[in-house]
Structure 1
Amino acid sequence: MSWFSLLKQEIRALFTNQAAVFTVFGGVIIYSLLYPVPYSQQTPRELSVAIVDQDGSQTSRMFTRMMDATPEITVTRELPTVDSAAELIATGVIDGVVSIPEHFYRDLLMGKSPVVSVAGDASFFLVYGTVVTGVVNAGKDLGAKVKVAKSVLRNTPLALASKQYTPFDLNLTPVYNPTMGYGNYAIPGVFMLILQQTLMLASALIGCQQMVSKGQSSAYWNTSNPLLVVLTRSLVIVAIYAIMAMYYLGACLEANGINRLSHPIELASVVLPFLFASSGLGILLGYLFKRAESLSLAILVSSMPMLFVSGFIWPTAALPVWLQGLAQIIPSTAVIPAVLQLNQMGATPADEIHYVVQLLLQAISYLSLAALLLFGAQRMFRNEHKHITTSQ
């Protein structure tokens, strides 16, 4: 069989496999539209909090107004005790409660630091952290106002006191994530994992289906060079996913307001080896599994572990050494930091050369192993077919 005939057969095998077609086109597009939706607001704002004011002074009421003025929180009610807020937090009526202690005003006048308590559901760490941030910012403003007032009482000019209440000025400039949003942080990396998992599943489903129907003696995958079959299948699906990768790293990031710093050719130098490595791993898995249902479940269940060992959701240094080593056989472990550094951080291709080499080695290894498995399957089928022919 000529290579062009083999190419036509592989294209037909892909587009006649309904599960693979839905994975490639339906899955990739649906994920691109649905996944960014929860992060469209980037960071929580105007979270509802309750106030327990045990001091009842003018200063405590001013502190309450300062908290209400922050962009992070909104004071929606006052409660007599902290315990009365537990049910409201559990039912989602409020996101947190702030307790202003008794003698709040007196302690400030005496130069002491009163302890303001913040309570909330810490299982939603982003919500809880935003509530705490709003309270801290309001506390800093109130502390500055008290310091300035004391300096004025000591005959310090107001303009000078306003500049001297703190020994330094803090100028925070977010790097790589200008909005400090969770979307800018999570979406680019997860997009690469989505590409990997859907690509692996699509390429694996084709091989799995063919292994189940290997009794067809005239089937092209039983009669063609196994290495050529594997390379052609990988080429077909990588050609499609190259377009999907451009869509994910171009239009999708642009639509979600995520910065893009690298040139498309620089990204291609990393993404193409990644696509070949992922397709090779998928083809290999397709030859190892006997049932498409088990194959799909294994790939889908592995998504979350692969995400956490990739190093951007959970720091790699916090993982066990053996798990760090095991993670290096997964293409997403190399491509996620490479793409983030290129596209979001402005790194150069020379900085990512070790990731490219790792992905190329993975691609060669997985495609070679897949070809060996197909060769073994062809040989086993020929022996079985020869035995059946002899028996007849």
Structure 2
Amino acid sequence: MAWLSLLKRELKAFLTNPAAVFTVFGGVIIYSLLYPVPYSQQTPRELAVAVVDLDDSQISREFTRMMDATPEIAINRSISDVEQAAPLIATGKIDGVVLIPEHFYKDLLMGKSPVVSVAGDASFFLVYGTVAKGVVNAGKDLGGKVKVAKSVLRNTPLALASKQYTPFDLNMTPVYNPTMGYGNYAIPGVFMLILQQTLMLAAGLIGCQQAAQKSPSYWQQANPLIVILTRGTLLVLVYLMMSMYYLGACLEANGINRLSNPADLATVVLPFLFATAGLGMMLGYLFKRAEVLSLIVLVSSMPLLFVSGFIWPSAALPEWLNGLAQLAPSTAIIPAVLQLNQMGAPQSEVMHFTVQLMIQAIAYTSIASLLLFGVQRDRRKETTQSIRVE
């Protein structure tokens, strides 16, 4: 069979598979629009917080105003007891509660460190951390003000006391994440995982559909390696456009760094796409049932995200798990794209990822070809047996 004819048949097989088409075009586009929405503001701001002021002094009220002035916290109510905060947090009316203890003013005057308690729903890490950060920042400002006042009482000039109350000045300059937001941190890596999972599922669904066919078809007679390479090339061409959309328009629309040039990105993206397509076809012929394949791809998404090395450090993973993670193309492509596109690394520094993806592409394509050869052999046996029975 001529290669061009095989390519046309593979294109038809892809376009006539509704699940594969929706996964590629619907899934990729829907994810690109919905996933960044919760992180459009990058970091939480003006979180609603209640205050329990047991001291009720001038300095405690000033501390409350200072917390309200931070960009992280908005004090929206005062309550008399911490117990009243639980239903408010549960219903989403407040995001946290701050308890100012008794003798707050007295302890400050005596040089003691009063303990200010912060409570909230710690299952929302960003929200809880932001509330705590706002309280800490306000506490630092109040502590500095108290130190300056004490220094002035000891006849230290105000200008000098204002400079000496802390031994150093902190000047934080973020390098790779200018907004210090979650969107810049998570979206680029997750986008690559989305491309992997949707491509893997689409490639596998085509294989599942063909493996379930009982009637003679073009792929049963063609060279299995040529079939796999043709299907892989077709899917890679489609996903090249999706990759350009994700790494170009989507990142630009969300204000995320793009420091690499297209040629450097292509050196890692192309082998990644071939490796993912090969893995998807391999799984499709291995499991042969679309529902099983879909479940495997769905369930594996979160584990693959956490073992990729940018959500949870690879050094903190068990060696066996880190080694197993290297079988997934996402483990190599996510750090490669982050280093190239978000950190501006030269292409030479991610060459080992490129080599890893090339090896995966060759291995998974070869295994998929062997599995397809087995399916072809089974079909020939079934056809021969049916002829004998007749």
With the length of structure 1 as denominator, give the TM-score of the two structures.
0.97
Instruction: Give the Cα–Cα distance (whole angstroms) in 2 for the partners of residues 6 and 275 of structure 1.
Output: 20
1:36 partner letter: P
Q: What is the deviation of 1:75?
A: 0.9
Please name the residue that 2:297 is paired with: 299
Please name the residue that 2:385 is paired with: 387
Q: What is the deviation of 1:15?
A: 0.8
Please name the residue that 1:33 is paired with: 33
Whether 1:89 and 2:99 are equivalent positions in the alignment is no
Residues 379-388 or 341-350, more deviating: 379-388
Please name the residue that 2:257 is paired with: 259
Please name the residue that 2:231 is paired with: 233
1:251 partner letter: A
Query: Aligned to 1:177, what secondary structure does the other structure show?
Result: coil
Whether 1:321 and 2:323 are equivalent positions in the alignment is no
Please name the residue that 1:311 is paired with: 309
Residues 290-299 or 58-67, more deviating: 290-299
After superposition, give the CA deviation of every residue in 1:297-322 in whole Å (9 maximum; x if it has no partner). Answer: 22112111111111111222222211
1:50 partner letter: A
Instruction: Give the Cα–Cα distance (whole angstroms) in 1 for the partners of residues 167 and 365 of structure 2.
Output: 62
| Superposed counterparts of 1:78-227, under 5 Å | 78-213=78-213, 215-217=214-216, 219-227=217-225
Query: Aligned to 1:67, what secondary structure does the other structure show?
Result: helix
After superposition, give the CA deviation of every residue in 1:110-155 in whole Å (9 maximum; x if it has no partner). Answer: 1111111111111111111111000000000001111111111122
Please name the residue that 1:14 is paired with: 14
Instruction: Give the Cα–Cα distance (whole angstroms) in 2 for the partners of residues 346 and 328 of structure 1.
Output: 24
Query: Aligned to 2:97, what secondary structure does the other structure show?
Result: strand
Instruction: Give the Cα–Cα distance (whole angstroms) in 2 for the partners of residues 73 and 388 of structure 1.
Output: 75
Q: What is the deviation of 1:391?
A: 4.4
Please name the residue that 1:66 is paired with: 66
After superposition, give the CA deviation of every residue in 1:284-309 in whole Å (9 maximum; x if it has no partner). Answer: 11111222122112211211111111
After superposition, give the CA deviation of every residue in 1:325-350 in whole Å (9 maximum; x if it has no partner). Answer: 11110000110111011111111111
Instruction: Give the Cα–Cα distance (whole angstroms) in 1 for the partners of residues 381 and 287 of structure 2.
Output: 21
1:86 partner letter: A
1:120 partner letter: G
Whether 1:339 and 2:348 are equivalent positions in the alignment is no
For the Cα contact (< 8 Å) 2:207–2:288, is it kept in 1?
no
Instruction: Give the Cα–Cα distance (whole angstroms) in 1 for the partners of residues 32 and 125 of structure 2.
Output: 25
Residues 256-265 or 153-162, more deviating: 153-162
With the length of structure 2 as denominator, give the TM-score of the two structures.
0.98
Please name the residue that 2:50 is paired with: 50
1:142 partner letter: L
Of 278, 282, 285 in structure 2, the residue corresponding to residue 284 of structure 1 is 282
After superposition, give the CA deviation of every residue in 1:250-284 in whole Å (9 maximum; x if it has no partner). Answer: 00000001111111111111111000000000111
CA RMSD of aligned residues (A): 1.1
Instruction: Give the Cα–Cα distance (whole angstroms) in 1 for the partners of residues 29 and 80 of structure 2.
Output: 51
Q: What is the deviation of 1:382?
A: 2.1
**Structure 1 stretches of at least 4 aligned residues deviating more than 4 Å after TM superposition:** none
Query: Aligned to 1:269, what secondary structure does the other structure show?
Result: helix
2:255 partner letter: G
After superposition, give the CA deviation of every residue in 1:66-103 in whole Å (9 maximum; x if it has no partner). Answer: 01100100111111122222221222211111111111
After superposition, give the CA deviation of every residue in 1:210-241 in whole Å (9 maximum; x if it has no partner). Answer: 1110x333x21111111000000000000000
1:89 partner letter: I
Query: Aligned to 1:358, what secondary structure does the other structure show?
Result: helix
Identity of aligned residues (%): 75
Query: Aligned to 2:118, what secondary structure does the other structure show?
Result: strand
Instruction: Give the Cα–Cα distance (whole angstroms) in 1 for the partners of residues 379 and 86 of structure 2.
Output: 67
Query: Aligned to 1:98, what secondary structure does the other structure show?
Result: strand
Instruction: Give the Cα–Cα distance (whole angstroms) in 2 for the partners of residues 21 and 288 of structure 1.
Output: 21
Instruction: Give the Cα–Cα distance (whole angstroms) in 1 for the partners of residues 379 and 115 of structure 2.
Output: 77
For the Cα contact (< 8 Å) 2:50–2:98, is it kept in 1?
yes
Query: Aligned to 2:140, what secondary structure does the other structure show?
Result: helix
Instruction: Give the Cα–Cα distance (whole angstroms) in 2 for the partners of residues 376 and 98 of structure 1.
Output: 66
Query: Aligned to 1:119, what secondary structure does the other structure show?
Result: strand
1:208 partner letter: C
Query: Aligned to 1:94, what secondary structure does the other structure show?
Result: coil
Unmatched tracts of structure 1, length 5 or more:
none
Q: What is the deviation of 1:390?
A: 4.0
Instruction: Give the Cα–Cα distance (whole angstroms) in 2 for the partners of residues 103 and 377 of structure 1.
Output: 79
Instruction: Give the Cα–Cα distance (whole angstroms) in 1 for the partners of residues 382 and 105 of structure 2.
Output: 90
Unmatched tracts of structure 2, length 5 or more:
none
Q: Give the count of matched residue pairs.
A: 390
Instruction: Give the Cα–Cα distance (whole angstroms) in 1 for the partners of residues 17 and 386 of structure 2.
Output: 30
Instruction: Give the Cα–Cα distance (whole angstroms) in 2 for the partners of residues 234 and 201 of structure 1.
Output: 13
